[in-house]
Amino acid sequence: MIWILLAFLSAALLGCYDVCKKYALQDNAVLPVLFLNTLFCSMIFLPFLGYAPFGGWEVQKYILLKSCIVLCSWVLGYIGMKNLPITLVGPINATRPVMVLLGALLLFGEKLNAYQWTGVALAVLSFFMLSRSGRKEGIDFRHNKWIFCIVGAAVMGAVSGLYDKYLMTSATEGGIGLNRITVQCYYNFYQCLMMGLAVLAFRNHGRETTPFRWSWSIPLISIFLSMADFAYFHSLSLDGALVSVVSMVRRGSVVVSFLLGALLFHEKNLRSKALDLLLVLAGMVFLYLGTR
């Protein structure tokens, strides 16, 4: 089954994306790194413009809103990633499917079965255990602003996922039915424009304490992200592909980022965090079982 192999490939690439992001942000200014990421992503999708119908303001206003949601998630995520261990950030981000599921429960009236409630319970338990692991490194989840950034990024990412469902669902089923290539191309362009304005507005902020430095890991962020998205969407386009399976496999990227992060950044309390990670993965398995 090629589609499942592509899903695993996408997960591996997403894990590499997180590691490159962590490496690029070490002792570096956040806004320029994020701006360059959006710039390189826009350049990657530039050749696809010919296949992306513009649709006028009636279409672009929805894409502009998506850009704002994703950019808020990215800003918070980059700030948190810079200041926290990647072996702590990854498992927190991996709880995002639970947030999407709970959002669908509230917004779309979906009902959870026993498997899904078990997955939610395991995810909540893993979060409390992560807070225990964080305290060993002097990180208090209740008062640490960087933890709030990562949690906020995960929440905004879940909002983006729910909004994507609305954008991509056909009009006959209650959505808008936008062209996927149009959304991918233009939301990257809007993000690049907004980040360019932000960099100009805050160009003197933090220059003395955290100057920008170039790293080849910066373009790798965009390359790995674009490749991961390409593998993801190509997987979904193949006959027999199961969206629920592909989505859960993609969240397995946390395993790659955890292992590479432990190897490259020599982080602490890995045994405790590994147990927390296993709880997150177990929760994902139960969520998958509940969607079959």
What are 91-129's pLDDT values in tens digits? 777 777 667 666 766 666 667 778 878 877 887 788 778
User: What phi and psi, each to the nearest 5 degrees, are found at residue 266?
Assistant: 50, 50
What are 234-271's pLDDT values in tens digits? 776 676 666 656 666 777 788 888 888 888 887 777 88
132 Cβ neighbours under 8 A, 6+ residues apart: 272
pLDDT for residue 195: 94
Distance CA 100, CA 108 (A): 11
Half-sphere exposure of 163 (CA within 13 A, CB side): 16
- pLDDT-based confidence at 35, cuts 50/70/90? very high
What are 62-83's pLDDT values in tens digits? 999 999 999 999 999 999 999 9
Q: Give the mean model confidence (pLDDT) for residues 143-154.
A: 90
pLDDT for residue 206: 53
Distance CA 104, CA 63 (A): 21
Better-predicted residue by pLDDT, 37 or 94: 37
Does residue 217 register a pLDDT over 80? yes
% of the chain at pLDDT higher than 90? 28
- For residue 241, the one-letter residue type is A
Distance CA 204, CA 265 (A): 30
Q: Taking the model in full, what pTM does it have?
A: 0.84
Closest by CA position to 253, among listed 87, 11, 77, 22? 11
Q: Count of CB atoms within 10 A of residue 209's CB?
A: 7
